[in-house]
Every structure is written in structure tokens, then in C-alpha cells.
Chain A
């Protein structure tokens, strides 16, 4: 059976085109600026409370790095402990297989609907669409995921998928769509967030109470005990993990931790990095099944879907350490302006720019799809500073850019204009004489096309560079030329000050 693999949304334009559209949306930009600004301040405040924040990050990074280096060992151990605790473990090499496993499990219960906890992994494999094809309705129960689902929309943020929507848009979606899916929105619904949350509570409560099957993701799983962890705020997670008879958890293989004790550091880092809280309202931990409490059938689906390919790259591998906190999105100047949809993937922002191309395999055409994502960055490094597990996102971005360019070169007979320009620049910069000549030429040429000391549009193949930025005119004289013109003869007292005017 087919299932839309959503790592990359098919039919979305490459990042530069998608970003251009997004940048023109002033409502979106206002929503994002307000939202990311709020969350940034909160994160900084709670991270500053822990004087050993940096040490905690180092520890978390070390745990993740080592776990990934021995992933097979820890996965087998997890399988053993979950099975011993009464759970059933399944393995899925790709999205289609994972969807098939979950669909079959739901069919076995003879149910035609499932409630869902917010989960990136099930977004990634397009599970809802696959279930729908099999005649099974999947109800998202996280408030933001509900907004996205009712609005027939796509998530634009890892943590707050409806961050691109404001309160009045949400009110409209609820009034228009809730009746289609179940209990309609109350008469006279206002756009006060409290009112909207209450409408969601009423709409979903009936679904929770009758649900027999739930599908979740997992934030962590401890290999030694088989304990699975879901971290949340609203309580919809607890509802799904507790009320149904059958629970199916889809988890990327990189989410495993060696031991229950390793949760110490992650449960300190994740809430503070993610929502800027000391602790999120609800964290649920369960180990297999517990007689007389909660689901009596527990299935854990271990998902590869491009993760082993990512693991094979020793530089890019670190992206698998991601705990999906979204701190990198909230500090990213590019994300703040384009929003998540421009990335054309379920994983937007800086982490998406390094994860998506690796999960789907970097293509040879950097002007399209996933291969354009490593270029969707200014390399400012704010994401690396914010990452609680110290993923060096800029390093991976540069690494993937090189791979994309390399792949492009292999797939082409003639070099691109850019490649020729780079080659020429290399030749010029390797010789002081050539550099001086080029600078002189550039100074002359630049003043011909400049207006008021700035160069606006450039001709021909350089238009791409100048389309979105002005370039300052090079000075009349280079520093080296000025030095030669004004410095004293070599035998002069070296402590003498240099006189003369010039611009460096």
C-alpha cells in the first residue's frame, strides 16, 4: 500500500522560491516575530537558572554520541526489555513498512478510528494519510495539531505546529470545521485563547472517552528497562497513553537511550530548551503493560526511514542526536522570517536543513527540494549555541553544501558559472600580484555601476547575488596600496607613527 512519505512534501518549490512567497506574507511574519521572540526570552531565562547548563549540554551530547556509535547494541537491548515487560516490538525500514505495520495493528482491533499524540515520526511517514486510505480516521489531539488537521494545513514548527496561525484564524477554522469531525464549536466562540482551548477540550473529550486505540511517538526510550517517555503539556498525551486498550508507539531508532538513569540530564534540558519551562506540565513514563492500569496491548514500532543512511555519514550523523526541542528554530533569523512551510518538510528550520536532506538523500540539483535546504542558512551559529545536545548545525550545513555541490558536479558535463567564478577567485587569491590587479580593476569597474556609494543590481550571472542585497563600493585604494604609498622607508624607526591619510 502507498503512504505519502512526508519527510519532503512533494510539489513544494525549492527553499528560495518558497521563502520569497513566505516573506511577502506580513501576517505570517508578524505572528512568527511575536511567537519566537516570546519563547526565546523564556528559554534564556530558564537556561540561565542552571549554572551548569553548559556541562549538562556536554553530558547530553556525550550520551547521544556514544549511543549512536553503538546503536545496534542499544536497540537490541531495548527490544529485549520491552518484550520482557509485555510489549511487542516491530521494525520498519521505511515509511511504507511502518504504515503497513500500524494499519494492520489497528485492523486487528476492528476499530475504525484512533486518537493520536503529537508525533513527528508519524508526521514524517504520513501515517494519517495511510490510515485514511485504509478507512481508519486518525484524530490529532494536540491543540496545535488539531488546528493544523482541521485547517487541512501543514505544521510549520516542531513544537508549535500552528505557530503561523493567529487567534482569529484559529477561531474561523474551529467554527468552520469542528462540526465535520465531531462536536461542533460552541455558539458565539470568541478568539480568546482560553475560549479556543475550551472548545478543543469539549471537542476532544468525547473522542478520548470512546477511543480504543491510540498512536503516539516517543521522546525517549531507555534500553535497560524498556521504559518509554512522552513529554507534553496539555494532557492529551496522558489521555491517549492511558484510556485506550491498545497503544501503538512509532519511534525513530535514534531516540533510544542506554539507561533509565540517562533521563536525568535530558529531562532537565528538554523542557527548558523547548518551551522555556523548568518542567513541562506532564511527563508520562511506561514500561510495557501494567495489569489493571492503562493499555493492555502495547506495540513499539522502531523506524529507520533514512536514519541508518544518516548514521553512515560521520559528520552528518550528529543530526540524529536531535531531541526535537525546537530551540534552533526559535533563534534562527531565517526561520523567523520565512516560517516553517518554506522548508517544504516536516522538519523545518536549522535542524530540518541538516536532517531532511540526509533522511531523503541529498539530490544533485541544489535548486530543488531537499538539496536546497543546506543553503537556507546564514551560518550565523545561533542554532549551535541554543542546541541542548550541541549539534554543530553550521558544521553539518557546510558539509552538506559540499556534498550537494559535489553531487551536482558529477551530474554535469560543463561547469556552472558559479564553479568557474570560484575557480577564477581561487586563482586570483592564490597570488598577491593577481589579487592587487583584480582589486584595482574591481575598484574601477564598481564605480562605473555604483549609485551613491552602493552597487545595486549587477549584470548577468551576478544578478542572483545583487537581487536581495546592495554591495558597498570598494575603496579607491586598497590597504596595501595605501601602505606602500605612505609608509616610511624600511630603515626608519619602527616606533614612529605613520602619517598620511587613507582608507583601509
Chain B
């Protein structure tokens, strides 16, 4: 008997007491209505919670996105910028940086040397201050947002949902997904929180609100 069969038969033997009439896919859940954790001002809450996790959040009208991205890059003095395929050209400012396109795919060495990356997002979560990437157009491969030191992401107000379940129901499980809440952090040394361990040290969120 191979391991697959032996594990499965051990599972079945352990579950001999479960009646055959019980439906595996019908979970008897307590009848609890979902509480609203977000309140009325979903956009304001997102901005507040993302900032609490040490992300830099700025609110701009649609016409001001490019300038805001430019200011975020200027703040860190970025000299090279990764631009994923499909990132809207009109959101990109002019600036003193080399633009790196991911076509043909950039090597890890090139990405490691890049100062910043700019992306759109798939969905954002107010309660947790989280941005979620599904790595589609405008967001690029997962590695693009991992190696550069600064990640600037553009979030439209209509992409912000109240809570975690709302976000998951909007996402396609078949795509790779990354939920990002602030810059990378660790509390492994005396539970003292330190930002910027392996991922980007800084996360800039440009929040587009219709003026």
C-alpha cells in the first residue's frame, strides 16, 4: 500500500463514527449575521488604517496622480523606476529616473538594483488598510513589487471595499494574489517592530478621489 492509500485509509478509519448521511460540503454554521467593521467612511478608514501601518498615504484628484507619484519618488530620490506592462501612461510623471520595462522580463539582478516600482492594485481593504495585487495589467509579475526598495501604488476610491470578505469575493482565486499591509516588518527581536526587512522599505499609496 502506498502512502496515499495508507493516509486516506487511516483518515477513514479515524472517521468511522461520522454518519454517512452527513454532507461534507454543508457546514452547519452558527447563524451569525456579518457585522460591519468599516462604518460609513470606507475611504477615510482605508487611508487611516494604511497610514497606521507606516504606509505613506496621499489623497489626490484624478488629475493629480502623476504629480503625486512624482513627489513620492522624489522624496526617496529614486533613480530607477520599474514600470509594469499595462500601467497607464497618463499616471506616470516625468522625472530624473531611468525607466525599466519588464519586456523582455527583467533579471533579478536588474530588479535588485532598481530603486522603485509603481503599480495599480486589484482591490483595497478599508478595515485592515490592505492593498491587494492580482498581478494583472498595471501590476506586473510578483517579483516586480518585491525587490525594489520603494513601492508606489495607485488606488482608486472605487477599488476600496469595507472588509476582508468583500475583497476575497472580488478576487479570482486562480491568479497569484498578494495582500500587502504596510512595508515589510518584523517583531522577531524582543517583539520590537522594525520596518523594512526583506520586502520594500517604503510603501506609498496614492489614493485617487474624485474632487
Contacts and interface: CB of A to CB of B under 8 A. Distances in A.
B40 interface: no
**Residue from B3, B146, B180 having most chain A Cβ neighbours under 10 A:** B3
Nearest to A260: B173
B51 interface: no
Interface string B142-179: 11001000000000000000011100110001111111
Interface string B178-211: 1111111111111110101111100000000000
Contacts of B173: 222, 225, 227, 260, 285, 287
Given A290-B176, A308-B7, A55 B32 contact: yes
Nearest to A308: B10
A62 B49 contact: no
B137 to A, nearest CB: 13
A interface, size bucket: 35 or more
A227 B179 CA distance: 14
Contacts of A283: 177-179
A71 B108 CA distance: 40
15 contacts: A34-B190, A50-B37, A66-B24, A71-B15, A72-B11, A85-B174, A92-B7, A197-B189, A233-B187, A264-B165, A279-B128, A279-B130, A302-B7, A308-B14, A311-B15
Interface in B1-45: 2-4, 6-8, 10-15, 17-18, 22, 24-25, 27-30, 32, 34-35, 37
Nearest to B141: A293
Q: Is the interface of B mostly helix, strand, loop or mixed?
A: loop
B138 interface: no
Contact of A284 (B18, B178, B192, B198): B178
A63 interface: yes
A169 B115 CA distance: 33
B181 A279 contact: yes
A9 interface: no
A142 B164 contact: no
A243 B106 CA distance: 12
Contacts of B29: 59, 62-63
A131 to B, nearest CB: 19
A44 B128 CA distance: 16
B54 to A, nearest CB: 10
A409 B102 CA distance: 69
Contacts of B34: 52
A183 to B, nearest CB: 14
A58 B30 CA distance: 7
Contacts of A144: 186, 188
A97 B2 CA distance: 11
A233 B196 CA distance: 10
A294 interface: yes
B127 interface: yes
Contacts of A439: none
Nearest to B25: A258
Contacts of B135: 290, 293
Given A71-B11, A93-B7, A160 B168 contact: no
Contacts of A242: 142-143, 146
Interface in A93-123: 93, 97
Contacts of B163: 268
Contacts, number: 247
Contacts of A67: 27
A261 B146 contact: no
Given A50-B35, A197-B194, A227-B173, 13 more contacts: A55-B32, A62-B27, A93-B3, A143-B197, A198-B196, A209-B109, A234-B197, A238-B146, A265-B165, A267-B179, A283-B177, A294-B141, A302-B7
Contact of B176 (A163, A268, A286, A314): A286
B53 interface: yes
B188 A204 contact: no
A77 to B, nearest CB: 9
Contact of A234 (B24, B128, B185): B185
Contacts of B190: 31, 34-35, 166-167, 193
B125 interface: yes
A324 to B, nearest CB: 16
A311 B11 CA distance: 7
A163 B189 CA distance: 7
A213 interface: no
Contacts of A180: none
A282 B199 contact: yes
A66 B199 contact: no
Interface in A45-74: 49-52, 55, 58-59, 62-63, 66-67, 69-74
A82 interface: no
A282 B178 contact: yes
A282 B141 contact: no
A336 interface: no
A260 B194 CA distance: 32
Query: What are the 10 closest A-B residue pairs judged by CB atoms, nearest first?
Result: A235-B199, A70-B24, A308-B10, A235-B198, A279-B128, A235-B184, A55-B32, A312-B14, A52-B35, A144-B188
A167 B197 contact: no
Contacts of A261: 165, 168-169
A235 B178 contact: no
Contact of B30 (A62, A238, A258): A62
B132 to A, nearest CB: 9
B96 interface: no
B198 A204 contact: yes
B130 to A, nearest CB: 5
Contacts of A285: 173, 176-179
B105 interface: yes
B141 A292 contact: yes
A293 B184 contact: no
Contacts of A201: 196-198
B192 to A, nearest CB: 5
Nearest to B174: A287
A266 to B, nearest CB: 9
A52 B32 contact: yes
A308 B6 CA distance: 10
